[in-house]
Amino acid sequence: MITFRPQWFLYLAVAVAQGCATINSGSYGVPVDASSRPLATAEPAALRISAAEIVRDSNPYFGLVEVTFENASPAWVEIDRIDLDFGTPDRNRSVQIPWGDDIDTWYEAVSVRNAVRAANQQMVLDTLAIVGAMGRTVGGRHGHGARATAAGVGGALAVGALGALYVNDREQAAEAASGKPRFGDAHLLSTPIRVPPGLFTKRWILLYTAAQPLGGCIDRVVLGYQLADHRQSRVLLRYKAEGSEWQRPACGPLVAPEPSARF
């Protein structure tokens, strides 16, 4: 049984408050064939899939990617299998997918780091508010108002995104003993993935690489999936975000791809 944690809802609430609330995570995936070439003519897929990196949780070695599955059909869609291909043997060897205690440890560390960054930003905002208040000819009431506003902005930044990736202690012990990778319900590799009619399901995956991975920037992936009725599809997802710390030396400025470009 999965232990419920409220952080996922907090994460979504922050996205709404910051004016970036959309169903899709980022650009929609492009259907591709077995050679990862865009399909010239593709039947309407049962799912629309999008992906994007969550910039605030990045560092030079870790990238957190959100993937959204949208179901426009009148029936439930169930995904029984997920496969990931980062494009070349070198790139595939360069990517590790943390699980179990490693995810827990990363989550705790990045949450503290984000809280420290938010506190530092809060100090800057408070200082600016005080300086602004001192320069006014009107009384201190305006200065207090400015500082209160700054506190509200700073407090919304220190929220993590992986609160649902926890299982209870009994399941942790059993899976650790079996050597089976442990993922929570919110993880991309935790199947089956069920998507309700006319709605969507969001998943996350944490990727670990060198700052300069073998084979170059890990900025896209071909996601293959098999549905419960055994239909199989592949989509090319581009998820890398501007301003991210992850692989910055290798990725550099992002360049928009040609619509018909291969992987």
Domain 7-98+167-251 CATH superfamily: Immunoglobulins (2.60.40.10)
Phi and psi at residue 48, in whole multiples of 5°?
-105, 125
Phi and psi at residue 193, in whole multiples of 5°?
-105, 120
Domain boundaries, the chain: 7-98+167-251, 106-155
Query: What is the pLDDT at residue 172?
Result: 45
Query: Helices then strands (H, E): number in the chain?
Result: 6, 8
Query: What is the pLDDT at residue 6?
Result: 43
Residue in the structure block whose two tokens are 């009384």? 139
Query: What is the pLDDT at residue 258?
Result: 57
What are residue 38's DSSP bridge partners? Answer: 32
Query: What is the pLDDT at residue 21?
Result: 67
Report the 3 state secondary structure along 209-261.
CCCCCCCCCCCEEEEEEEECCCCEEEEEEECCCCCCCCCHHHHCCCCCCCCCC
Per-residue pLDDT of the chain (263 residues; tens, 9 = 90+): 334 344 444 444 444 444 456 889 999 999 999 888 888 766 667 799 999 999 999 999 999 999 999 999 999 999 999 999 999 999 999 999 998 889 999 999 999 999 888 888 777 666 666 555 545 544 444 444 433 333 322 222 222 333 333 333 444 445 545 555 667 889 999 999 999 999 999 999 999 999 999 899 999 999 999 999 999 999 999 999 998 999 999 998 765 665 555 55
Query: What is the pLDDT at residue 68?
Result: 97
Does the CA dihedral 8-11-16-20 come out positive or negative? negative
CB-count exposure of residue 185 (10 Å: 0-12, 13-18, 19+): middle
Given a contact cutoff of 8 angstroms between Cβ atoms, the answer to whether 69 and 200 are in contact is yes
Given a contact cutoff of 8 angstroms between Cβ atoms, the answer to whether 196 and 76 are in contact is yes
